[in-house]
Structure 1
């Protein structure tokens, strides 16, 4: 018996069909993996994150910067006389008073100039004494001439008085009496000239004395100047404080006005803070500041805001108004916190890592029993040093994770374990 053979038609798989099957398999795999990842919620230990609770109340905006204490009263001791440094008697860090000798200079030329000025002063004083004696003699001669003229005039007047009645009786001739009267007028004129000459001579004497005395004063001033310059070769502090710096070495030549040392008052300090430029726009003068010296706190006020920006920072001068803690000294590193603003009745949290003021962020917000956290969009407001204002997205009492959670950015929720 013949059995019929049934021929099966072979199915042919085309390349386009293979490509479609491959793409479909990949889509199924992606959908499966995504669903699997959603189910696999990551777990975080509560001790490994920083949890902050939303608070409502007064929000204090603060700006913080680092800096140093500097003297508010500094004096540079400059050389009043040129000279060579012979000795340095005090080292930086020593406490000095007004009369503490810091260094000694020498200048042989000044000593020589002083000696020359002393000799010239002695000569001028001697010339003054000689001139005074000479002028005094001339004055006495003038007084003698005036006296003689007065006596001659009196004699002529007496003679005229005696001859007048005789001339009236023709006992004395008219010519002789006229000569007597003429002699009286002559003596009177001579006396007037002598008096004018005496006054003129007195003016000349006074002028000569003034000139010679001025010459004496000139040499006295020169002597005093050189003596002052020689005394200035001994450099004193002229202020009570701490010697901070010596700017010269032994043997060095110093010109007039050259800085030799710097002295600061240790009881008169201020703080210089470096504040980031993006935090300075709200600062104003007289804002309260708290300075931390690592050994205590002291209050202060903002007194100057430098208009320049250097290396991304702005220099702020702070006047210290409180009692300085022990150990406070110039160049001591400090931290300053400036109170910028007090915002009443607002929500705020500890400042999350990497957040900026007036921005939007996403934070994991914990559930009521704090075993689960869900990613939530948060609107932030003004920022402070360690806290930031919350505008929207949170309520009073909510707990959020403020530590760095960037590794969980792909997850909308995480599980919290104790």
Structure 2
């Protein structure tokens, strides 16, 4: 898209719009000047072609006239030479008159050959020159059409039928080429894109159910597509787009990975980075010290780890970072 100054805005954001309908119009003085210059170049080249054709035709006619004149003189010279030849053989004319008639015949013959060759070469050169001029005109016409198309594109139109969800342009504002002016959304093609921790990639599949809370209600979702590529520890999944939402909203989606069951849990914390989930510090009942204890973790989500072994219900543990504790077996609380 060519840049320019916003001259008119035909429709405001938030409106429904049909494909091809004008949204706004830009002006571009540089582009307009370029159109005028290309038109002038094309006009000059067309005139040059016309003048060249006229000049070439005049030269062709001149050479043809010269050839006609030479043919006439050549026939006269041939007759004079034949007469002088017969008379010279019969000793009725001087050697000088015979030689003069012979020389005139040879001269006119060579001159006619040169004229015929000149006419042939001129015809070939004219064909090449005319072809080059016509190709130059075709290129100028093509360039002019492209520039005119760019000028036509200064009127920004809706690429599709949908909702004009944003329009970033005001009358009088200058927009550089390629700048984003807005967005038209196809409302029936929206989807919810979820980023999920790679830990769950083997447990997420199409058709799986999810839900989220919004505006005091709970909405159900169904996973329609799973993207298996993992980027920065996460993969993505597409879900159906529920009614009542707008593009760009952020949701906290819950996905059911299996049947509900009772489980002992500990909050996710920095301790996992140090221990890998193999042990944890457990506080005594008085909260005076903590001892290192082996544990075994199971399932996990974004907030909790499931504890399979090593802890009893109601025990207090330390889940913060362990970097400052080293490999201490016992911590004294102060």
Which of the five TM-score ranges fits, normalised by the shorter chain?
Answer: 0.5 to 0.7
Superposition deviation, residue 141 in structure 1: 0.8
3-state SS in 2 of match to 1:406: coil
1:330 is aligned to: 247
3-state SS in 2 of match to 1:228: helix
Of 295-304 and 203-212, more deviation after overlay is shown by: 203-212
Larger radius of gyration between Structure 1 and Structure 2: 1
- Cα distance in 1 for partners of 2:256, 2:235 equals 10
1:85/1:249 contact within 8 Å kept: yes
The one of 90, 99, 103 aligned to 2:20: 99
1:68 is aligned to: none
Superposition deviation, residue 188 in structure 1: 1.9
2:8 is aligned to: 87
3-state SS in 1 of match to 2:54: helix
3-state SS in 1 of match to 2:182: strand
The one of 243, 250, 255 aligned to 2:164: 243
- Cα distance in 2 for partners of 1:238, 1:299 equals 27
- Cα distance in 2 for partners of 1:298, 1:283 equals 13
Structure 2 residue 237 is matched with structure 1 residue 318: yes
3-state SS in 2 of match to 1:305: strand
Structure with greater strand percent: 1
- Cα distance in 2 for partners of 1:351, 1:168 equals 140
Cα–Cα, structure 1 residues 262 and 200, in superposed 2: closer, same or farther, change >3 Å? same
Superposition deviation, residue 223 in structure 1: 4.2
1:287/1:338 contact within 8 Å kept: no
Aligned residues: 287
Cα–Cα, structure 1 residues 325 and 349, in superposed 2: closer, same or farther, change >3 Å? closer
Superposition deviation, residue 295 in structure 1: 4.4
1:87/1:103 contact within 8 Å kept: yes
CA RMSD of aligned residues (A): 4.5
Cα-to-partner distance string for 1:149-173 (whole Å, 9 max, x where unaligned): 3444444445545655555454555
Structure 2 residue 266 is matched with structure 1 residue 354: yes
Structure 2 residue 153 is matched with structure 1 residue 232: yes
3-state SS in 2 of match to 1:86: strand
1:349/1:390 contact within 8 Å kept: no
Superposition deviation, residue 206 in structure 1: 4.9
- Cα distance in 1 for partners of 2:24, 2:17 equals 12
1:296/1:325 contact within 8 Å kept: yes
The one of 184, 193, 217 aligned to 2:105: 184
2:222 is aligned to: 297
1:280 is aligned to: 198
- Cα distance in 2 for partners of 1:408, 1:334 equals 29
3-state SS in 1 of match to 2:253: strand
The one of 174, 178, 181 aligned to 1:253: 174
3-state SS in 1 of match to 2:264: coil
Cα-to-partner distance string for 1:346-396 (whole Å, 9 max, x where unaligned): xx95442326796579xxxxxxxxxxxxxxx99645315599888779xxx
- Cα distance in 2 for partners of 1:161, 1:325 equals 110
- Cα distance in 2 for partners of 1:86, 1:382 equals 64
Cα-to-partner distance string for 1:61-115 (whole Å, 9 max, x where unaligned): xxxxxxxxxxxxxxxxxxx333221222333344444412121123456445544
Superposition deviation, residue 235 in structure 1: 0.7
Cα–Cα, structure 1 residues 90 and 299, in superposed 2: closer, same or farther, change >3 Å? same
2:201/2:235 contact within 8 Å kept: no
- What TM-score results when the alignment is normalised by the length of structure 2? 0.63
1:263 is aligned to: 184
The one of 31, 41, 58 aligned to 1:137: 58
1:139/1:198 contact within 8 Å kept: yes
1:9-408 alignment, distance < 5 Å: 80-108=1-29, 110-111=31-32, 114-115=35-36, 117-119=38-40, 121-160=42-81, 164=85, 167-170=88-91, 175-202=96-123, 205-206=126-127, 209=130, 213=134, 216=137, 220=141, 223-269=144-190, 271-275=192-196, 279-280=197-198, 283=201, 288-289=205-206, 290=208, 292=210, 294-307=219-232, 314-318=233-237, 330-331=247-248, 333=251, 335=253, 337=255, 349-354=261-266, 380-385=296-301, 405-406=313-314
Cα–Cα, structure 1 residues 302 and 108, in superposed 2: closer, same or farther, change >3 Å? closer
Of 191-200 and 244-253, more deviation after overlay is shown by: 191-200
Structure with greater helix percent: 2
